[in-house]
Amino acid sequence: MTAWDFLKELNQVCHFMSKERSGPVTNSELKRWCQNQAVSINGERVKFNQEIEFPIREMFLFPKNRITLF
């Protein structure tokens, strides 16, 4: 499973909100988060098409701001 696929599935459960506009985040925004290396999984910044390894021990969105999910 790629990082982008994982974020899309996680978004169905968590319902991320957009910082660019009011309302839910779009798939394009999720892809940009990965492309801009704003997602860290198991201590590694991931790209949108990168395969991720399970189990996921930790996940950070926007690591500079430390938004912790797991």
pLDDT in tens, 17-63: 887 788 899 999 999 988 988 888 988 999 889 999 999 988 888 76
Parallel, antiparallel or unpaired: strands 59-61 and 44-45: unpaired
Name 54's bridge partners.
none
**Domain boundaries in the chain?**
3-68
Q: How far is CA 34 from the centre of its chain?
A: 6
Average pLDDT over residues 1-6: 92
Regarding the domain delimited by 3-68, which CATH topology (the fold level of the hierarchy) does it fall under? 3.10.290
State phi, psi for 30 to the nearest 5 degrees: -60, -40
0.85 exceeded by pTM: no
